[in-house]
């Protein structure tokens, strides 16, 4: 049932030109633009910003828009009347975006290597970066949907967290790896950027950024648990 729901959601996303562009073309275009500016010694920063862009556009923004639209169309209400539990419904709806984000991340790293980036010295670091980063982005998308009445309004409601993540990522990436503080790792974009960069520049401190991503995942969970509605307000 979850697989069928995920396949159905993927087909709907492909048919929606706006969502498809947000999830696929925009992050790829921005990622290629960022990669083209890479220089020796800064590739960890380049790929880190690519990761942030992919998860923000492909998972966070697209999930918010998609879920708001499904709620408006009463799709979420109908799904809840079926056999699937609430967590299973969310997994089915979000799985295509999470898989797409993983594929995009691999593609963007390949693009960076094509532009001259070295292979990561610690490639396994990228696995928790994707896992914890994508879960955080999905959690914050659910939180944002709680305050998003329609798909059109998602362009506005995603802006605060989006800008906070981009700004905090730039803040961390402007700081040397060994000079990153716990406060920087408590920011959403900063934690993700710090973790990804350590794949190329070993800072020897994986737990602080992972903890930061878990904190924001918890924040998103608590907000969605209290205020997320599965059907439009009357």
Give the number of domains in the chain. Answer: 1
Average pLDDT over residues 179-207: 91
Distance in angstroms (rounded) separating the CA atoms of residues 69 and 80: 16
Average pLDDT over residues 187-201: 94
Q: What is residue 164's predicted lDDT score, i.e. its pLDDT?
A: 97
The tens digit of pLDDT for each residue in 81-104 reads 888 889 999 999 999 999 888 988
Nearest by Cα to 44 from 138, 102, 129? 129
Tokens of 36: 């083209």
Residue 233 lies in a domain: no
Average pLDDT over residues 21-30: 64
Residues 6+ apart with CB under 8 A from 137: 55, 56, 59, 60, 63, 101
The tens digit of pLDDT for each residue in 139-176 reads 999 999 999 999 899 999 999 999 999 999 999 999 98
Which of the 8 DSSP states describes residue 84? S
Residue 234 lies in a domain: no
Q: Residue 199 in 3-state DSSP? A: coil
Residue 70 lies in a domain: yes
Which of the 8 DSSP states describes residue 24? I
Q: What is residue 218's predicted lDDT score, i.e. its pLDDT?
A: 97
Instruction: Answer yes or no: are the C-beta atoms of 136 and 216 closer than 8 Å.
Output: yes
Residue 212 lies in a domain: yes
Q: What is residue 40's predicted lDDT score, i.e. its pLDDT?
A: 55
pLDDT class for 17, splitting at 50, 70, 90? low
**Percent of the chain's residues with pLDDT above 90:** 51
The tens digit of pLDDT for each residue in 35-87 reads 666 555 578 888 898 889 889 988 999 999 989 998 999 988 988 888 888 99
Distance in angstroms (rounded) separating the CA atoms of residues 15 and 124: 35
The model's pTM: 0.90
Residue 232 lies in a domain: no
Q: What is residue 103's predicted lDDT score, i.e. its pLDDT?
A: 84
Q: Give the domain extent around 92.
A: 2-227
């Amino acid at each position: 049932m979850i697989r069928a729901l995920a396949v159905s959601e993927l087909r709907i996303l492909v048919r929606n030109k706006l969502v498809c562009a947000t999830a696929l073309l925009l992050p790829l275009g921005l990622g290629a633009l960022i990669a083209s500016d890479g220089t020796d010694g800064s590739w960890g920063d380049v790929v880190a910003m690519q990761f942030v862009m992919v998860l923000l556009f492909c998972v966070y923004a697209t999930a918010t828009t998609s879920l708001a639209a499904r709620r408006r169309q009463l799709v979420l209400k109908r799904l809840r009347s079926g056999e699937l539990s609430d967590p299973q419904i969310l997994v089915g709806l979000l799985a295509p975006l999470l898989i797409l984000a993983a594929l995009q991340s691999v593609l963007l790293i390949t693009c960076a290597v094509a532009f001259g980036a070295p292979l990561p010295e610690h490639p396994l670091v990228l696995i928790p970066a994707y896992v914890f980063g994508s879960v955080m982005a999905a959690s914050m998308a659910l939180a944002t949907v709680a305050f998003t009445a329609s798909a059109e309004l998602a362009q506005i409601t995603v802006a605060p967290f989006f800008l906070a993540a981009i700004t905090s990522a730039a803040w961390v990436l402007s700081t040397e790896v060994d000079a990153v503080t716990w406060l920087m790792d408590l920011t959403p974009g900063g934690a993700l950027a710090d973790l990804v960069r350590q794949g190329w520049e070993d800072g020897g401190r994986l737990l602080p950024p992972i903890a930061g991503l878990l904190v924001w995942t918890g924040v998103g969970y608590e907000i969605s648990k209290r205020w997320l509605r599965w059907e439009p307000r009357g």
